[in-house]
Chains A and B, each alone.
Chain A
Amino acid sequence: MGELFSAALFWSTIRLSTPLILAAMGGMFSERGGVINIALEGMMLAGAFTAAAVTYATGNPFVGLAAGVAAGVLIAAIHAVACISYKADQVVTGTAINILMIGMPAFLSGAFFLSSGSTPQIPREHLIPWTPIVIAFALVPIAWYVLYKTPFGLRLRAVGENPEAADAAGISVARMKYAGVLLSGALAGIGGAYLSIGQSSLFTRNMTSGRGFIALAALIFGKWRPVQTLLACLLFGFTEAISIQMQSVIKLPSGEDIPVQFIQMFPYVLTIVVLAGFIGHSRAPRALGIPYEKERT
């Protein structure tokens, strides 16, 4: 038991929380602006693949990171155009993007690297294991400040709560929503890039394996607020760290392993419980998911 709560576990938690924090903060900007973002998964995948491919090609991880951000923004732009300009259902669009992004990177790597869905190995010296972690943890106070202490944040929150009121106050609702969604793409892109050129050294098919959804869960668990969301991400990162360590470390008195599946389920069960209002109520932005139509008759 003693060695469980070790420095290794601490760093493992930090590492595993990083992509969650980045994606969840991104999701926060999108959802506080009123656009549901279940496409975080797809945006992360886009970032992960592009960062790995570009880093491999250029040998410069920072160019790769920038490319990953660009890819995330590009995918977010699709989401934004469909949901904001064409008023498509945000959940459906998000699902489409997720399906598209399972296929697209694999398709492209099949074409460019002649592999079945992964990029070639990137040399160790071209990886950035620390930069994204620093970005993630610096991001939280910045996100808090932007959301609560700047005109941009005030407007974004107003649009997510009551777009008609924001419109009447002379704010362009569509522009704010676009900003929120694109920002979420950029941050999810960094989160994805960390997976491929920070934590590991290549892109593999569907390498996010549900982290976009866990980030979403953390966002809900954190009640759409930056600090609480950070704590939720750390908690979920910690559970994942334990589940990785536990297979070798923890034994029940009977000598059996605690099944790893139960640890995996933890964030999801917690989210359902929170949503049902058992642990404090988590209230979504009021206009979340509703396309803004002005000339309603």
Chain B
Amino acid sequence: MIELRNITKRFGNVLANDHVSVVVKPGTIHAIVGENGAGKSTAMRIAYGFYKADSGEILIDGQVRDISTPHDAIALGVGMVHQHFMLVETMTVAENIVLGAEPGNAAALDLGKASTEIEKLSAEFKLAVNPETVVEHLSVGQQQRVELLKALYRHARLLILDEPTAVLTPQEVEEFFAILRRMREQGKTVVIITHKLSEVLAISDEVTVMRDGRVVGRVQTAETNAAELARLMVGREVLLRVEKPDADIGATTLSVKNLSVTHADGTKRLDDVSFNVHKGEILGIAGVEGNGQTELIEALAGLVSASRLSGEVHFEGRNITSLNARERREVGIAHIPEDRHRRGLLLDFSLSENSILGVHYRPPLVSYAGVFLNDTAIRKRADRIIQDFDVRPTNQDLPARALSGGNQQKLIIGREFDLQPKLLLVSQPTRGVDIGAIEFIHRKLVALRDDGCAVLLISAELEEVTALSDRLLIIHEGRIVGDVDPQVATIEEIGLLMTGSGKR
């Protein structure tokens, strides 16, 4: 159906795709697996004409085709559902579906005709959704259906799905897979991009494995297993357990009482959450992304405005609910944010300027009446962080933008560790980070715990949270739905809790 031949693509200095070749047979479900940053999405965005390859060619039905815009791809029967949905939120479902392929003529948009057709497609593929609803009022699962309908409406024969299950609960994933199988029966070809091996094994016919921008394996799903795929993905045996001594758990450091966060749209994103974190332990929070983790950590870090909050947060016995971000850092709370580009770094500022974010007002970083920045002290601090956390390159005058993801993350972690916090809030510490740095970061987190710091760890990587945590809470739709011992609980049990269907 589609074939990529020797696709190469660079973004600046980063080689995202290095002679990538993929063959997808018609009428199959083909999985492309790899870690974050392996180049899966880039390759598929090239196939969809969203990016232009630097070299290489794309074949559709055995013929070399020039796909330089999504328009070309659509015309050739290629559809794509992006990881971040490409929907105009203020428009209706019908408007979104017909956008770019409008029924009627140039002078008149025939939305009535569109609605009939959409309803027909909905019935055929069991994708129930009301064409008149405005998209921003739909749930994530429904929005995904709109995306699928959009591709089907354009008569896509090949559907490329980029991490379609990231936002779904395991139950929804099952339904979704049923839809995919139905599509395969109807003769459609599906390419699914994922980094979840269980899903690959459950749904696909064939697998292409990518690592560091290259294709490192092509296998039949029936002839492989999780261990082999994992080995291909990371390039060696996976270290499933983090070496760590037993926790020496001390007094309560953080106590969260009935914490709720209301979103600007009025929905409750965090609903009556209570828990404690103790000195010397890592408390993990597992859950499907978007179930209130972001709101939880931002609320604890003092980044949610009081009007959206209810409940109390106590730190070492003191009520800190009304403290802002700076005051919370003052009492000894450090925060490694989930999104380093959005929250963690000033990308255009130098490493040294980044190394003081959050403490830029404290002596000795400021001198002379506490107003003027002290360059010597700032450089000393930056050097210390760069040394201790092996940030490369070491030139602290470089803008943070010039560093790789792993080194950016190490800079942030170094900055926060340098505060010698009593409580560390950390979210997705190893997202988009290379293997070497992941191990380094894991070791540092355990060492910090052993020094008596309380650590609250949120991660979408189930293996990461179970391996690192001493105690594990499971969050679903803004509520804590489980409290398990990660040494004892199985992945299946935790997975069930993450769907909200487990016992409380």
A binding-site residues for B, Cβ under 8 Å: 149-155, 157-158, 161-162, 164-172, 286, 294-295, 297
Q: Which residue of chain B is the closest to A297 with respect to CB atoms?
A: B11
Which of B11, B69, B87 is A170 in contact with, Cβ under 8 Å? B69
Q: Is the pair A152, B106 in contact by a Cβ cutoff of 8 Å?
A: yes
Contacts of B176 in A (CB 8 A): none
**Is B99 part of the contact surface with A, judged by Cβ < 8 Å?**
yes
Contacts of B99 in A (CB 8 A): 154-155, 158, 165-166, 169, 171
Q: Which residue of chain A is the closest to B16 with respect to CB atoms?
A: A297
- The stretch of B88-96, B184-192, B271-279, B414-422 in contact with A is B88-96
**Is B107 part of the contact surface with A, judged by Cβ < 8 Å?**
yes
Contacts of B154 in A (CB 8 A): 170
Q: Is the pair B71, A297 in contact by a Cβ cutoff of 8 Å?
A: no
Which of B12, B82, B91, B107 is A297 in contact with, Cβ under 8 Å? B12
B binding-site residues for A, Cβ under 8 Å: 11-12, 14, 48, 50-51, 69-71, 73-75, 80, 82, 85-91, 95-96, 98-102, 104, 106-109, 150, 154
Q: Measured between alpha carbons, how far is A168 from B74 in the docked complex, in Å?
A: 9
Given A169-B100, A170-B69, check contact A149 B108 (CB 8 Å): yes
Q: Is the pair A294, B86 in contact by a Cβ cutoff of 8 Å?
A: no
Q: Measured between alpha carbons, how far is A153 from B88 in the docked complex, in Å?
A: 14
Q: Measured between alpha carbons, how far is A164 from B88 in the docked complex, in Å?
A: 9
Q: Is the pair A154, B82 in contact by a Cβ cutoff of 8 Å?
A: no
Q: Is the pair B108, A150 in contact by a Cβ cutoff of 8 Å?
A: yes
Q: Measured between alpha carbons, how far is A171 from B69 in the docked complex, in Å?
A: 9
Which of B51, B82, B85, B90 is A295 in contact with, Cβ under 8 Å? B51
Contacts of B75 in A (CB 8 A): 170
Contacts of B80 in A (CB 8 A): 168
Interface centre among A164, A167, A168, A295 (most CB of B within 10 A): A168
Among all A-B residue pairs, the 4 with the closest Cβ atoms: A169-B100, A170-B71, A168-B86, A151-B102
Q: Measured between alpha carbons, how far is A164 from B75 in the docked complex, in Å?
A: 18
Q: Is the pair A165, B106 in contact by a Cβ cutoff of 8 Å?
A: no
Q: Measured between alpha carbons, how far is A295 from B52 in the docked complex, in Å?
A: 9
Q: Measured between alpha carbons, how far is A155 from B102 in the docked complex, in Å?
A: 9
Which of B48, B51, B98, B100 is A166 in contact with, Cβ under 8 Å? B100
Given A164-B86, A297-B14, check contact A171 B100 (CB 8 Å): yes
Q: Is the pair A162, B89 in contact by a Cβ cutoff of 8 Å?
A: yes
B120 to chain A, nearest CB (A): 20
Additional A-B contact list (8), CB under 8 Å, known A161-B89, A162-B87, A168-B48: A149-B108, A154-B98, A155-B99, A162-B88, A165-B88, A166-B88, A167-B70, A168-B82
Interface centre among B48, B99, B109 (most CB of A within 10 A): B99
Given A154-B95, A295-B51, check contact A170 B108 (CB 8 Å): no
Given A165-B87, A286-B90, check contact A150 B50 (CB 8 Å): no
Q: Is the pair B104, A170 in contact by a Cβ cutoff of 8 Å?
A: no
Contacts of A151 in B (CB 8 A): 102, 104, 106, 109
Q: Measured between alpha carbons, how far is A149 from B95 in the docked complex, in Å?
A: 11
Interface centre among A149, A150, A165, A294 (most CB of B within 10 A): A165
Which of A158, A161, A168, A297 is B70 in contact with, Cβ under 8 Å? A168
Interface centre among B80, B90, B100 (most CB of A within 10 A): B100
Q: Measured between alpha carbons, how far is A48 from B12 in the docked complex, in Å?
A: 46
Q: Which residue of chain B is the closest to A159 with respect to CB atoms?
A: B88
11 pairs, CB–CB < 8 Å, chain A vs chain B:
A154-B91, A154-B98, A154-B102, A154-B109, A166-B100, A168-B80, A169-B70, A170-B70, A170-B100, A297-B11, A297-B12
Given A150-B107, A151-B106, A158-B99, check contact A167 B90 (CB 8 Å): no
